[in-house]
Amino acid sequence: MSVRLDEFLRASQDPRPGRRCASTARAGRDFGYARLAMRGGIYVLNFYSAVFIDQLKRGRKTATIRLGNKSGKYERGQVIWVTVGFRHSPREKIFAAVIDDVEVKRVSELSPRDIEHDNPEFRRLDETTNFLEQIYGRPVSGDDIVTVIRFSQIVERPSSHFGNGETPSRN
């Protein structure tokens, strides 16, 4: 079953915690919005450098490696916004995405695939470790826990037609 982003947003904005929007309830569909509404609605994967915008838009960056265990915040199937900007400043929404996988492991267990999907310019573990140290402002060792979050962009088609796909005509 495909979930349209506008349905997700409408349902997640229901002001009553644990409730689905009326149109979703009438249609008999349950997209798990009750759980998301209780957790605060939409989550964001934010990147601090505009360098990542091109990599994200071109689909070259399809994962992020975050220091610590983030499995309580992000989970497979969750719809998120991918943004770029600094904390306490305006951020640019790049696209909506769905989380494909959340994997918690030690830094020393990161695979070449994990590293390349996080930053297509990196190939070695030491490059990723140095980058994490710059971001978090502290030493990072092979024993530190990280979370690899894989995501896929949600592509929205323009809705220029109604119902059966035909352009409406005047009678």
User: Domain extents for the chain?
Assistant: 1-40, 42-153
Q: What is the pTM of this model?
A: 0.69
Q: What is the pLDDT of residue 51?
A: 84
| Segments in the chain below pLDDT 70 | 1-40, 159-171
Q: What is the pLDDT of residue 20?
A: 39
Q: What is the pLDDT of residue 143?
A: 97
Q: What is the pLDDT of residue 28?
A: 43
Closest CA to 115 of 67, 54, 63, 53: 63
**Cα–Cα dist 17/156, whole Å:** 27
**Non-local CB neighbours of 8 within 8 Å, separated by 6+ positions:** 31, 33, 79
CATH number assigned to the domain with residue range 42-153, chosen from the 4 options 1.10.10.10, 3.40.190.10, 3.10.130.10, 3.10.400.10? 3.10.400.10
